[in-house]
Chains A and B, each alone.
Chain A
Amino acid sequence: MESQNSHLESVYALYQDMIKKGFTLIYEGEVNHQITKTFTSMADENMEKVSEDDSVRKKVYHVMVECLQNICKHAEDGDQSDTAFSGNGIFIVGRDDNAYHVISGNQVDYEQKEKIKTSLDFVNSLDKDKLKELYFKKLKEGSISEKGGAGLGFIDMVKKTGHKLEYHFDALTDGNYFFILKSTISRNK
């Protein structure tokens, strides 16, 4: 029973931490369009309640939608018989004195991991002007994918927040990976 106790302790520690920081939303489960709408409007209402700056609110909202839609859309790429792939993930929005942090986690396969890594490294290597240039170039020349994405999510997240995207891949025993993405939105301009 020891392991269960320590599990409970860590939940309590998390709870205490959440209370201290004043603002944390956590979601775990299937991510679909309805959840995206519900979660983002809940977070937005929370920010409104604490009179968060409008521009910060909009940026956080934007990042949340792009992250959640990434999980919805790309979950279908994986093995459908595996429930971990069918749009499941974790999603956390937290705040400290200086910034909001939007963290998402979902399972991807090797091929997806390589694609995501290449795209993130590239986007992270660009400065503000280059990001803007790439965004509008893709807007003009690109097209909507079968999954309904424009391939602009990561570019837009870095462009709007001014922060590089942090990421991590945890290797799972079945050869797949758990992809964690973190975006930061500063509160003080």
Chain B
Amino acid sequence: MDAIKLKGTEDTPAVTFDAGANIFELSGKSMPENVAAFYSPILAWIEEYGKKPNAETVVSFKLEYFNTASSKMIMDIMSKFEDICNNGANVKMKWHYLEVDEDMLEAGEGYSEIVDVPFEMISY
């Protein structure tokens, strides 16, 4: 399947969802004008990927900033990967946060409590 590769902008994150290269990454800033329009193709891609996932999927989040509307879409992305995990694939989340950014750490911890997949917190 075709990869999604988007360069980050001042209000949208850099996105790489590439099954062939086994890279699943979201990084940068997220406060798009229309969150649903931005994230719908990504959610559709994950759903398609879930039909034939790789043996191991590591999803990496390295966000500097996201607004509350984006936080809901991040939740939806994680839920989709959780479904893939529940179907027997090996899925893991990596949550990167700036060491001084307690709010970003807290957000990651919150997600890890809701989503039932292995979660790793990584400070940078």
Instruction: List chain A positions with a Cβ less than 8 A from chain B.
Output: 33, 36-37, 41, 54-55, 58-59, 61-62, 65-66, 69, 132, 135-136, 139-140, 142-144, 148-150, 152-153, 155-156, 160
| B11, B34, B100, B113: the one within 8 Å of A54 (CB) | B100
| B31, B36, B65, B71: the one within 8 Å of A139 (CB) | B71
Given the contacts A41-B10, A139-B110, A149 and B103 also touching, CB distance less than 8 Å? no
25 pairs, A vs B, C-beta closer than 8 Å: A33-B33, A37-B10, A37-B31, A41-B10, A54-B101, A55-B100, A55-B101, A58-B101, A59-B103, A62-B65, A62-B67, A69-B69, A132-B110, A139-B114, A143-B72, A144-B35, A144-B36, A144-B72, A148-B33, A148-B35, A150-B71, A150-B72, A152-B68, A152-B71, A160-B103
What's the Cα separation between A167 and B99 when bound, in Å? 34
The yes or no answer to B73 lying at the interface (CB within 8 A) is: yes
Q: How far is the CB of A181 from chain B (nearest CB, A)?
A: 15
- What interface size band does chain B fall in? 20 to 34
Give the dominant DSSP class at B's interface: helix
Task: Give every chain A residue within 8 A of B71 (Cβ-Cβ).
Answer: 139, 150, 152, 156
Task: Give every chain A residue within 8 A of B10 (Cβ-Cβ).
Answer: 37, 41
What's the Cα separation between A55 and B71 when bound, in Å? 19
Instruction: List chain B positions with a Cβ less than 8 A from chain A.
Output: 10-11, 31, 33-36, 65, 67-69, 71-73, 75, 98, 100-103, 106, 110, 113-114
Sample of 4 further A-B pairs with CB below 8 A, known A54-B98, A136-B113, A143-B72: A69-B67, A140-B75, A144-B36, A150-B71
Q: How far is the CB of B29 from chain A (nearest CB, A)?
A: 10
Tell whether, in the assembled complex, residue B68 and residue A156 are in contact, meaning their CB atoms are under 8 Å apart: yes
CB nearest neighbor in A for B68: A152
Task: Give every chain A residue within 8 A of B101 (Cβ-Cβ).
Answer: 54-55, 58
Task: Give every chain A residue within 8 A of B67 (Cβ-Cβ).
Answer: 62, 65-66, 69
